[in-house]
Amino acid sequence: MACEQETANTLREAGFRVTPQRLLVASALRHAGRHLSAAEIADEVRTVYPMVDLSTVYRTVEMLKRLQLATVTDMGGDDLLFEWSAGEAHHHLICSTCRRMQVLDHRYLERLAEEVGRDFGFQADLQHFAIFGVCQECREGAKT
Amino acid sequence: MACEQETANTLREAGFRVTPQRLLVASALRHAGRHLSAAEIADEVRTVYPMVDLSTVYRTVEMLKRLQLATVTDMGGDDLLFEWSAGEAHHHLICSTCRRMQVLDHRYLERLAEEVGRDFGFQADLQHFAIFGVCQECREGAKT
DNA sequence: GTTGGTGCAAATGATTTGCAAAAGG
DNA sequence: CCTTTTGCAAATCATTTGCACCAAC
């Protein structure tokens, strides 16, 4: 599978060893197409490789983060969420009332990043932003 | 003290009872002029009222949040930080490398809030935003 | 063979919760 | 009085860590 080869090469080049656990965690994230909690990643990996430990998932995800292959986000829930990040930068609008989430295109934040870089020399990490608030439906519902 | 009266009135109007613990937590936040952790609030309150419990601090801060008198932010540290929010909306640039923090004026985020409201009907809660990244000094240091 | 990685089990530590006693209105 | 609030102590629960064994290279 091309994906696994690619991941394996990236790991090796960075000086990390290639293990089935690491490939499976990466694969789970890559193909999920959404945010996964550590427990969800473990569940997914265990369908193939039943004895992986949660601590291995955390350790692997930490490594993927350093390699910029994955992002970690606190979406306000009980646990951290992980996502494959090789794709386009994107962001989320999270409704504090109904917990629903919608995707926000990166161009909404591009200008902010530029301004902050220009004015403060601050290189903002805006790969993955969570904006909390109240969504349209909940606002309309609240009027009742 | 005028501040305490004001807080007391707000609580009463909202149907909450007024207790010394609540007034002291509010006062600690109001006069700190910076972010405080739950433990720091407790320390501050205990200089006046030694027997307050951490759980009371958490419960009170939760109430102040509902009343929009305080904000809660995860600044990437081990614990949540609380701040009095009656003042101007403002934001922070947090350096992932040196952990230093600088204040970002609200106007940088105003436009974003407008756009998101216009395009999605989403009422973004941008009272207090944390933007992570690398500050100028650390970027220059890294070049070495 | 070395070194780094894994599973297991136990620790961590901020936040939450149950409950009886105390205090607000 | 009748609730709400508090302090205390215990629970929670995601994440981290120590360590002995195992697997990459």
User: Domain boundaries in chain A?
Assistant: 1-87, 89-144
Q: How far is B106 from chain A (nearest CA, A)?
A: 12
Q: Exposure of A2 by Cβ count < 10 A (0-12 exposed, 13-18 middle, 19+ buried)?
A: exposed
Does A86 touch chain B if contact means CB atoms closer than 8 Å? no
pTM: 0.83
A and B: number of Cβ contacts within 8 A: 81
Shortest Cα distance from B47 to chain A (angstroms)? 32
**B116–A104: do the CB atoms touch at under 8 Å?**
yes
Question: Cα–Cα distance between A84 and B77 in angstroms, integer?
Answer: 23
Q: How far is the CA of A5 from the C1' of C8 (A)?
A: 30
- A17: CB within 7 A of chain D nucleic strand: yes
Per-residue flag: A78 CB under 7 A of strand D: yes
Which residues of A fall within a CB distance of 8 Å from B134?
122-123, 125
CATH class of A1-87: mainly alpha
DSSP of A36-49, one letter per residue? Answer: EEHHHHHHHHHTTS
Task: Name the residue with tokens 């694969």.
Answer: A27
Q: Is the pLDDT of residue B52 over 90?
A: yes
More confident residue, A74 or A122: A122
Looking at residues A84-110, what average pLDDT do you find?
A: 84
**Which pLDDT score is estimated for B126?**
82
- A120–B96 CB contact, under 8 Å: no
Given 3.20.20.60, 1.20.1250.20, 3.30.1490.190, 2.60.40.10, which CATH number is that of A89-144?
3.30.1490.190
Q: Is the CB of B48 under 7 A from strand D?
A: no
A12 touches strand D (CB under 7 A): yes
Q: Taking residues B37-47, report their average pLDDT.
A: 95
Q: What's residue B87's pLDDT?
A: 66
pLDDT tens for B72-126 read 988 877 899 999 986 677 888 988 878 788 889 999 999 999 999 999 999 998 8
- C-alpha B101/C-alpha B75 separation (Å) is 10
CA distance, residue B92 to nearest chain A CA (Å): 11
Q: State the Cα torsion A56-A61-A67-A73 to the nearest 10°.
A: -160
- A121 vs B96, B111, B139: nearest CB: B139
